[in-house]
Amino acid sequence: MVPLDSIPKPDDLVEDALKAIFGPAAIITIVFILGNLTVAWIGAWQTGAKVARATATTARQASARLSQMPRTAAAVASLTTATIVGVQGMWLWLSYVIGNGTSYLFTGNVPPSGPQWGTVLQSLHWDPIVETYVLASAVGIVAAYVLALKGKEPGWVVAALSLPAIFWGALTGFGSLLALLVASLHLISDHNFPLDDSSRSMMLMFGIAVTQIIACSLAMNSTETVVKVWRIQTSTNDPYTEY
């Protein structure tokens, strides 16, 4: 007679099946996750670049139409410049916040459950990491203007300033995918989708990293709009310009 204890239970069968499927294929699973992560980062980068280019193109087209009216050309150029400089000023403030977050992640006491962003926002301060990032952001804006004057895009400036976001985004993106994979396996086996605080924190950090890259791309690419608006204004005032 077969002992009852030796008869496998349904949960055991599910567990054995999952181990049989995902155990030997661990390398394939990791490669698949890394591939999805790479595609996600490329998509986020392309989305940020498209948004920045579309915004800049729309602003240039509107400015070009309005600047054909001599009386409004200077006002349009001034208003556009003031608006974009304000956006770039917001980026500098955001870089101050990002610098604090980066400093906290590298030197702060981060609990196992994940970063406490509320504490970071309530204790913004200056330290060498924050000062370095804010200075790099300011230099990046100047470099973007120089590149715009030369008719070049500030791609490398965006990439350099986005290094912290790329680093932490890659780690938290990979961790988020692993957390979702484990939660999905639990959903299959016991119909539960567990996400602990650390998993949610990683997903939040990944979203923040993507947002930072898009914001940086918008701020740096906006310099091209300022340069082109004033070139249009200059050509409008040039009596030798043909329309």
For residue 33, pLDDT beyond 80: no
Q: Can you read off the two tokens belonging to residue 72?
A: 């409004």
Residue linked to tokens 């400036």: 157
- The stretch 156-167 carries a mean pLDDT of 89
Mean pLDDT, residues 12-30 taken together: 49
Which amino acid is it at 155? Answer: G
> What's the N-to-C CA distance of the chain in angstroms?
100
CA 101 to CA 98: how far, in whole Å?
Answer: 5
Query: Sign of the C-alpha dihedral, residues 206, 210, 213, 216?
Result: negative
Say yes or no to pLDDT of 230 above 70: yes
Q: Report how far Cα 92 is from the mean position of its chain's Cα atoms.
A: 16
Q: Which two tokens stand for residue 95?
A: 């870089």
Q: Residues with Cβ < 8 Å from 208, sequence gap 6 or more?
A: 101, 165
Confidence class of residue 126 from pLDDT cuts 50, 70 and 90? very high
What are the backbone dihedrals phi and psi of residue 239, each rounded to the nearest 5 degrees, phi first? -65, -15
Per-residue pLDDT band for 35 (boundaries 50, 70, 90) equals low
Model confidence pLDDT, tens digit, residues 81-105: 888 888 889 999 989 998 998 888 8
**pTM of the prediction?**
0.64
If you average pLDDT over every residue of the chain, what do you get?
Answer: 74
CA distance linking residue 45 with residue 214, whole number of Å: 7
Query: Which pLDDT does position 140 carry in this prediction?
Result: 93
- Measured CA distances, 197 to 113, 114, 115, 153, 205 (Å): 6, 7, 10, 40, 12
- CB-based contact 180:213 (threshold 8 Å): no
One-letter amino acid at 57 equals: T
Please tell me the total number of residues recorded for the chain in this structure. 243
Tokens 């800049």 belong to: 56
Look at phi and psi of residue 141 and say left if phi exceeds 0, alpha if psi is from -120 to 50, else beta: alpha
CA distances for 136 relative to 86, 153, 160, 173, 241, angstroms: 18, 18, 9, 25, 39
Cα 98–chain centre separation: 11
Q: Quick one: pLDDT band at residue 2, thresholds 50, 70, 90?
A: very low
